[in-house]
């Protein structure tokens, strides 16, 4: 029998996600020890690992929760969608080639088509993230000029902004504020996360990069945000981050959560952060928490 902490380590799910999934979907039925703590069987751990893998492949937990073990194993035995990845790669190459030739209109057309054809999570995973990564790498290798890099980044920023505006018209769920703290100017990961959040029906307030903690908190209070989502990319900002996060937490209402993601977030010392801070391990955990927040 396994404790909930051991199950979290074995499955890659957070303790909060395990409890929420059990409460909402009744995925497993753990026993209890004499003190009332949950105890899980090996088959519970296997089922939970399979469920996490299914959600990472893009299947909503609400759809796979009702599958029995045999059906879940069958689902995971199916080959992953290579066609979708190939389509994403084709869009990336088309945009890059258009940028190389300074054909702005063709860049716009390719990205518009990708947005129309792909769901938000796949758009981010298979097009936007690889595109921006490849643009950066080609610029560093001298294969793209800075003007060509700016061409692509400007188009991506504008179209994601248009998507946010479009989703905002039908938003019915709680408010979520997206921002970065002072000194952190990298915003594309934050912007794409905001788009995924908005696509789930949340009222997204995108403030952008490099804001003081007090200003983020003030805005979050005014709009009644249930979550403040932050991005941390620069490792050189980590030493000053705990103090800023404590200032932010002190200025927020007690029920407002703080979610932290980004390339440098895993290097944060968890014990130095306010209790309400949750560091996202990856995009899958971010999507799981959005689903829990929507419950």
Ramachandran category for residue 12: left, alpha or beta (phi over 0 → left; psi -120 to 50 → alpha): left
Name the pairing type of β-strands 38-39 and 31-32: antiparallel
Q: Which residue has the higher pLDDT, 291 or 267?
A: 267
Which residues lie closer than 8 Å to 295 by C-beta, 6 or more apart?
20, 24
What is the Cα Rg of the chain in Å?
Answer: 21
Domain range summary for the chain, segments of one domain joined by +: 4-77, 82-164, 171-294
In CATH, the architecture of 82-164 is Orthogonal Bundle (1.10)
The continuous run of DSSP H or E covering 261 comes out as strand 257-261
In CATH, the architecture of 4-77 is Orthogonal Bundle (1.10)
Domains 82-164 and 171-294 equal at CATH topology level: no
> Using CA atoms, how far apart are residues 182 and 40, in angstroms rounded to an integer?
43
Length of the chain: 295
For 120-151, how does the pLDDT look when each residue is reduced to its tens digit (9 = 90+)? 888 998 999 999 999 999 999 999 999 999 99
Q: What is the spatial order of strands in the sheet that 257-261 belongs to?
A: 202-208, 173-179, 227-231, 257-261, 277-279
For 12-31, how does the pLDDT look when each residue is reduced to its tens digit (9 = 90+)? 788 888 888 888 888 888 88
Helix pair angle (15-25, 42-56), 10° resolution: 90
Q: Which residue has the higher pLDDT, 254 or 87?
A: 254
For residue 253, the number of C-alpha atoms closer than 13 Å in the C-beta half-sphere is: 12
> Using CA atoms, how far apart are residues 57 and 54, in angstroms rounded to an integer?
5
Whole-number average pLDDT of the chain: 89
For 197-206, how does the pLDDT look when each residue is reduced to its tens digit (9 = 90+)? 999 899 999 9
Count Cβ atoms below 10 Å from residue 105 Cβ, excluding itself.
8
Percent of the chain with pLDDT over 70: 97
Strand partners, 279: 260
Q: Which of 36, 33, 37, 17 is nearest to 25 (CA)?
A: 17
Contact 195, 120 (CB under 8 A): yes
Strand partners, 208: 179
What's the whole-model pTM score? 0.74
> Using CA atoms, how far apart are residues 101 and 99, in angstroms rounded to an integer?
5
Residue 155 has pLDDT above 70, yes or no: yes
Per CATH, domain 171-294 is 3.40.50.280: yes
Angle at 175 between CA 271 and CA 273, to 5 degrees: 5
């Amino acid at each position: 029998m396994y404790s909930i902490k051991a199950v979290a380590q074995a499955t890659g799910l957070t303790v909060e996600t395990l409890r929420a999934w059990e409460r909402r979907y009744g995925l497993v039925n753990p026993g209890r020890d004499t003190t009332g703590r949950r105890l899980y069987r090996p088959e519970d751990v296997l089922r939970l690992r399979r469920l996490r893998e299914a959600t990472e492949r893009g299947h909503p937990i609400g759809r796979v929760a009702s599958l029995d073990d045999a059906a879940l194993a069958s689902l995971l035995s199916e080959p992953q969608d290579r066609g979708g990845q190939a389509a994403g790669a084709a869009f990336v190459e088309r945009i890059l080639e258009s940028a190389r030739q300074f054909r702005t209109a063709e860049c716009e057309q390719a990205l518009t088509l990708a947005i129309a054809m792909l769901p938000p999570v796949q758009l981010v995973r298979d097009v936007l993230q690889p595109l921006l990564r490849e643009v950066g790498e080609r610029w560093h290798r001298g294969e793209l000029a800075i003007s060509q890099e700016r061409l692509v980044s400007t188009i991506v920023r504008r179209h994601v902004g248009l998507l946010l505006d479009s989703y905002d018209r039908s938003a019915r769920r709680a408010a979520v504020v997206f921002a970065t703290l002072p000194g952190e100017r990298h915003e594309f990961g934050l912007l794409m996360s905001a788009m995924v959040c908005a696509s789930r029906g949340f009222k997204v307030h995108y403030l952008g990069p490099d804001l003081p903690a007090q200003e983020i908190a003030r805005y979050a209070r005014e709009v009644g945000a249930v979550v403040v989502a932050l991005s941390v990319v620069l490792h050189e900002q980590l030493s000053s981050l705990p103090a800023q996060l404590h200032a932010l937490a002190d200025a927020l209402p007690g029920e407002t959560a703080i979610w932290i993601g980004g390339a440098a977030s895993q290097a944060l010392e968890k014990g130095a952060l306010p209790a309400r801070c949750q560091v996202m391990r990856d995009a899958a955990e971010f999507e799981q928490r959005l689903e829990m927040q929507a419950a």
